[in-house]
Structure 1
């Protein structure tokens, strides 16, 4: 039988009774994340931020305090300046971190855009340098990948390069027809406008068209037409040229300048390019304005990042590594990436820089299958005669070198090919249907010797035991970082616009991620607290014991050891 109570007892609650003074210090545990983050950021050199202040006038909020607040807000998944300002008044950890100062959202946003905008790379480099000093990263292995983040722009404000070229071509045809009609009317009116001579060059611009329209207008003011109807017609045509054609031509020229080789841009954010975001339930992709964000990781710390307007990862590698070198001063020794980066241009660039590439090419996995290796109709499985520079097909016929071929891509990279052709007609061959499906009488194919040599080097590196172990870690390195940032932190759309704003915002995201990961390791992920923490980091040491590289962190009243991974 259940016990029956005579009365219900509650904890004492009196809304009108307070304990004064209320000290937030007492409510934040000594091993709370915010305390460790506070001490880590104190170790950063923020002289580049202080130099941005002009001085004079009313005193400003200290940049160190604002930097701490911004980074902690991004760690908590708060990206809006208004929400950050509200947290400074309502959230006890924010109040403690800001030491009860309450800058408004305008101050926070102004600091983020104007002060951090030009110095975000310096702050990120400081964080990376701290990680290097503590032994967590050393740029020995650099795991590279990219993801697409939606821009702060309307998805219906697209401008396509192909459409712009088409509309511009049609507009020029319209201008040509109008000028021809004006010339015809002028001839019919016994050259009432005099000798116009308004024929334009093939690639005329809006300025030249505007000058021609002004020339016609000046002559139109002095002209005397026999037919009022034709005079009105000419005036109407000139009005169309001035108010419509010149305006539209200027618009298309502006579009081409903004596009700058891209296939699209957004009218809301001109720097954003339309890309497939893979956000529908089938992951098929939706065209939205966005940016291609590239990051490099080691030990799941972000040690390099860059922002790109191209949706293709292949063209981003060279620019990304140059940006990382400029930002941090480091060059990775080994680059690990998926097949999206596998190209002759990238392989050659890495080799010239002395970087080992662990990057698959698009057919790498297929080549390891039994079916591929046993396919006698695959050119890569044919016998090659070095002396004659010829292949032997399954029918025993020789496929000899025919002529060289040179191709240049849009970035100016030159690729060399060798074209081969069978010395005999293939029409009567019993393997014709399976071996060659082209329309020519003789089988023809091309080979890139330099690319094949580079692929062989990469293949040997990836198939080695060390290579397999290194490449396997790619799945838990950079993919994990993207998962935490996009899914756990909810960062799927930029708030700021333009390349500068996007670079600033993503830099803050990476800094916040690194500091949070480091703080969690210090608090208890890998370390052990000896006594309650008090002050700042005193020194760190790197030791090797039984082949295991370890970091010893000594903080006042703190002592941690961490085993360093590759």
Structure 2
């Protein structure tokens, strides 16, 4: 006997929510999007054209697709026709892939995603799934939707521009020397600007026109041939200077796109070439990508931002500003790895934000080793005489203060250094082990007192039990979030181009990671409820008594 099955029978449509499991992820998505205040959707209102799909429905649909590792617009459209979960969230609407793609790259969606993270964090705090004591920060590289071989390098642009400048200056000097064109007013003697190259091209064009007029007026063929031969040089030079002008303009455009970066992709100019863990050529080749920074607590992603800078050191300050401005008030502790350790970042956390940094620096773990602590030739192990402002070297000689100096890096940050010099290194038996300076010079050291203060502060914090335990939690808090994003969700490459568009897409992907984890936690809490735990204990007790009775 079989259950009734007739495909031709008419069935009345029912509410799809009855066909979903009680703890289905669709309910979490629906609850999250519905928690967004209504005023956030006002910018989407319009009075012209046909009625559009509600942004709530579009948000739910895209979030649901991303939780199922579906990132393609066409595949999302297919889900609206096949998935019961998607049918319930969209109320059986079926937007086209063009509508889906246009919505997820809309600049207005950025505010909705930001509100999603704010509301989700509030829900986590309310349910006591996270604490507000600390955030854990780390970054990873995500490959851009760009060709691997469309790179533009700053160093190449500088070299090409240098060669162009030398060649154009040489040709201009030759033109003046041979009195072919008159001298033009120059802004700089070092190089010719685009405007000046244009003037030279115009002067050469006038000379070519004069020769052309003479050729047309000449009646004798031999005369015309003679004039044509004279016209060849200015005509060739005019073409060269036109090419110089176009190349100069192209180099200026490249530099404008580069900004402070060293490279960019022609396919996606906002993407920078970075070293990825996935090396397709197995030779350390770089790929176009973005630097994703996230802040987590209990493995939930609470805030994020995208950067074109491949190094984490330069991203901490703007990322903290983004978190404070768009997501939440910064907690007491900012926890990160040694990639963020630096004087500028410590100063920003301690002084600008008035928070406590639990961030190691590059040499922290090495300095904790016995070999480093017992090395008498390291200046960090030398005794300091505060009254005399001197250090005592291993040979027992004084390192006296000489002068102050200021070192400014290419980003404009200033470091204030103090220079110390040994009173006399001559005839020192430890000289060969202590310094590599020339025989007629004494050993010198430089001390950044601000940096030394920050290092001592970090060493003290990490040596304490509470803060040290909090720092050790970093590895099991922020690192799994990247594993869930790349390995579990399968999001390893952007499908859109441009920083604004990629920022929206990564927002959907990170929120999908949060929703998946939230559902798993809900299911685990349900399975570990007091009633079920009690039933398990009773079963175990009965099994033990049964076993004892059998053995007896």
State the TM-score, normalizing by the size of structure 1.
0.85
CA contact (8 A) 1:417 1:447 kept: yes
- Is 1:88 the counterpart of 2:88? The answer is no
Distance 1:128 1:285, change over 3 A: farther
Instruction: Name the CA shift for 1:59/1:528 in 2 (closer, same or farther; >3 Å).
Output: farther
Cα contact 1:272–1:291 (8 A) shared by 2: yes
Q: Is residue 291–residue 309 contact of structure 1 (8 Å, CA) maintained in 2?
A: yes
Listed one character per residue, the Cα deviations across residues 377-417 of structure 1 (whole Å, up to 9, x for unaligned) are 22111121112211112211112212212111222211111
Are 2:151 and 2:266, in contact at CA under 8 Å, matched by a contact in 1? yes
Deviations 1:250-296 (A, max 9, x none): 11110010011111111111111111012139998541111111111
Match in the other structure for 1:487: 487
Tell me what 2:103 maps to: 111
1:49 maps onto 2:37 in alignment: no
> Tell me, which stretches of 5 or more residues in structure 1 are unaligned?
1-9, 532-566
Residue 37 of structure 1 contacts residue 516 of structure 1 at CA under 8 Å; is this kept in 2? no
- Tell me the distance in 1 between the aligned counterparts of 2:88 and 2:284: 43
Q: Distance in 2 between matches of 1:11 and 1:169?
A: 84
Does structure 1 conserve the Cα–Cα contact (< 8 Å) formed by 2:65 and 2:76? yes
- Counterpart CA distance in 1 for 2:138 and 2:34 is 31
Tell me by how many angstroms 1:203 deviates. Answer: 4.4
Distance 1:281 1:464 in 2: 44
Q: 1:377 to 1:196 in 2, by over 3 A?
A: closer
Distance (whole Å) between structure 1 residues aligned to residue 290 and residue 102 of structure 2: 23
CA distance in 2, matches of 1:37, 1:519: 10
Alignment partner of 1:357 is 2:340? no
Counterpart-to-counterpart distance in 2, 1:376 and 1:59:
77
Q: How does 1:226-305 map to 2 (within 5 A)?
A: 228-242=228-242, 244-280=243-279, 285-305=284-304
Alignment coverage as a number of residue pairs: 514
Helix, strand or coil at the partner of 1:65: helix
Corresponding residue of 1:343: 342
CA distance in 1, matches of 2:160, 2:280: 35
Which residues of structure 2 form unaligned runs of 5+?
Answer: 216-225, 532-552
The change in CA–CA distance for 1:513 and 1:276 in structure 2 (over 3 A counts) is same
C-alpha distance in structure 2 between counterparts of 1:258 and 1:504, whole Å: 21
CA contact (8 A) 2:186 2:192 kept: no
Q: Which residue of 1 aligns with 2:135?
A: 142
* Residues 262 and 251 of structure 1, relative CA distance in 2, 3 Å threshold: same
Partner of 1:5: none
**RMSD, matched Cα:** 2.7
SS of equivalent residue, structure 2 residue 22 = coil
Counterpart residue number, 1:376: 376
Match of 1:513 in 2: 513
Q: Provide the C-alpha distance between the structure 2 equivalents of 1:164 and 1:380, rounded to a whole number of angstroms.
A: 43
Equivalences for 1:544-563 in 2 at 5 Å? none
Name the structure 2 match of 1:438: 437
- Give the direction of change, closer, same or farther, for the CA distance of 1:319–1:526 in structure 2 (3 Å limit): farther
Give the match's secondary structure for 2:305.
Answer: strand
Q: Using the TM superposition, give the Cα deviation of residue 523 of structure 1 relative to its aligned residue in structure 2, in angstroms.
A: 4.2
1:450 aligned onto 2:458: no
User: What is the alpha-carbon distance in structure 1 between the residues aligned to residue 173 and residue 491 of structure 2?
Assistant: 57
Deviations 1:136-182 (A, max 9, x none): 34542010101111111111101110110110111122222332333
Larger proportion of strand: 1
| Aligned-partner Cα distance in 2 for 1:516–1:48 | 25
1:175-224, Cα deviation, whole Å (9 max, x unpaired): 22332333344x3xxx6x5x343766334432332233224323542466
Deviation at 1:425, TM superposition (A): 2.4
Alignment counterpart, residue 214 of structure 1, candidates 190, 199, 202: 202
In the other structure, the counterpart of 2:54 is: 62
**Bigger CA drift: 439-448 or 253-262?**
439-448
Shift of 1:25: 4.1
Aligned to 1:41, what secondary structure does the other structure show?
helix
How far does residue 481 in structure 1 lie from its aligned partner after superposition? 0.4
Partner Cα separation in structure 2 for residue 480 and residue 333 of structure 1: 23
Name whichever structure is richer in helix by fraction: 2
CA distance in structure 2 between the aligned counterparts of 1:220 and 1:11, rounded to whole angstroms: 95
SS of equivalent residue, structure 1 residue 127: helix
Structure 1 459/235 Cα, relative in aligned 2: closer, same or farther at 3 Å? Answer: same
Deviation readout 1:278-333 (Å, 9 max, x if unpaired): 21399985411111111111121111211111111111110000011111241222
Assess if the C-alpha contact under 8 Å between 1:179 and 1:198 holds in 2: no
Is contact 2:382–2:394 with CA below 8 Å preserved after alignment?
yes
Q: Could you tell which deviates more after superposition, 479-488 or 28-37? A: 28-37
Cα distance in structure 1, aligned partners of 2:109 and 2:310: 27
Change (3 A) 1:36 1:319: closer
Match of 1:72 in 2: 64
2:153 pairs with 1:160: yes
Task: Map 1:195-210; keep pairs closer than 5 Å.
Answer: 195-197=182-184, 201=188, 202-210=190-198
Greater shift in the superposed pair: 499-508 or 10-19: 10-19
**Secondary structure at the residue paired with 1:305?**
strand
Q: Deviations over 1:95-147 (max 9, x none)?
A: 22212111110111111112414543333333333334444345420101011
